[in-house]
């Protein structure tokens, strides 16, 4: 059974960098899957941020591409999100998720809330 | 970008009744359309993929239909645990993968 768990600071200062990690259990980060980040602002819908494959290929949402980096740490079986130059509009619950190729997001973390505020 | 438009925004239904939710895509997504259920404070849960295939463990009262640009999620007889927000999601064309804005199913 695949499990994902997000971790990271719950408060980030404006113009700072948001950094989150997703620990994966029950599957190898090196398996033939895509590992994604999705966020949800308070009271709003879901927004896909980006994803990374086992080989390190990345796809990013064009609306965030200039500020986003997703990376993988095979040794720790986890992947990470960095979002730079954050503003209040980046306040959201951030989820990590897993999908098989040509398949939707099947496994999700529980989500971690991040607030951007001074 | 493929925009998904869900209707209605809110659906008021009595327990035991049928609920029909719609999702319209701005361009064809073939059958690469999924539905998720989300309850307060929880992550989305995959219900339907490939427009009409139930995910593992999803009750038969949930069914999906459609292809191209028009899709429907039907809950045949609403149970108390079904009151939630439902999102459609296309995984046909990226970037980006996109979601609808959601339909809230509430108790009438």
Mean pLDDT of chain B: 97
Contact B97 A48 (CB under 8 A): yes
Contact B101 A63 (CB under 8 A): no
Please, is A78 exposed, middle or buried when counting C-beta atoms within 10 Å of its C-beta (0-12, 13-18, 19+)?
Answer: buried
Confidence of residue B73 (pLDDT cuts 50, 70, 90): very high
pLDDT in the model for residue A55: 87
Task: Provide mean pLDDT across the span A97-105.
Answer: 92
B102: left (phi > 0), else alpha (psi -120 to 50), else beta? left
pLDDT in the model for residue B57: 96
pLDDT in the model for residue A54: 85
Residues of A in contact with B97 (CB under 8 A): 36, 48
pLDDT digits (tens, 9 = 90+) for B20-56: 999 999 999 999 999 999 999 999 999 999 999 999 9
**Is B95 a residue whose pLDDT tops 90?**
no
């Amino acid at each position: 059974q695949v499990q994902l768990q997000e971790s990271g600071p719950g408060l980030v200062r404006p113009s700072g960098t948001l950094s989150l990690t997703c620990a994966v259990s029950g599957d190898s980060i090196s398996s033939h899957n895509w590992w994604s980040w999705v966020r949800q602002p308070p009271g709003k819908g879901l927004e896909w941020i980006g994803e990374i494959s086992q080989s390190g290929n990345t796809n990013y949402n064009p609306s965030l591409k200039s500020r986003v980096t997703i990376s993988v740490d095979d040794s720790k079986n986890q992947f990470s999100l960095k979002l730079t130059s954050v503003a209040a509009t980046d306040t959201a619950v951030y989820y990590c998720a897993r999908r098989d190729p040509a398949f939707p997001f099947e496994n999700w973390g529980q989500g971690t809330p991040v607030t951007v505020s001074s | 970008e493929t925009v998904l438009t869900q209707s209605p925004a809110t659906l008021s239904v009595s327990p035991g009744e049928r609920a029909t939710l719609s999702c319209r895509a701005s361009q064809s997504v073939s059958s690469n359309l999924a539905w998720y259920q989300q309850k307060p404070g929880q992550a989305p849960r995959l219900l339907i993929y490939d427009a009409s295939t139930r995910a593992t463990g999803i009750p038969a009262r949930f069914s999906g239909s459609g292809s191209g640009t028009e899709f429907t999620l039907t809950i045949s007889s609403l149970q108390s645990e079904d009151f939630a927000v439902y999102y459609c999601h296309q995984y046909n064309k990226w970037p980006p993968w996109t979601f609808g804005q959601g339909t809230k199913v509430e108790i009438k």
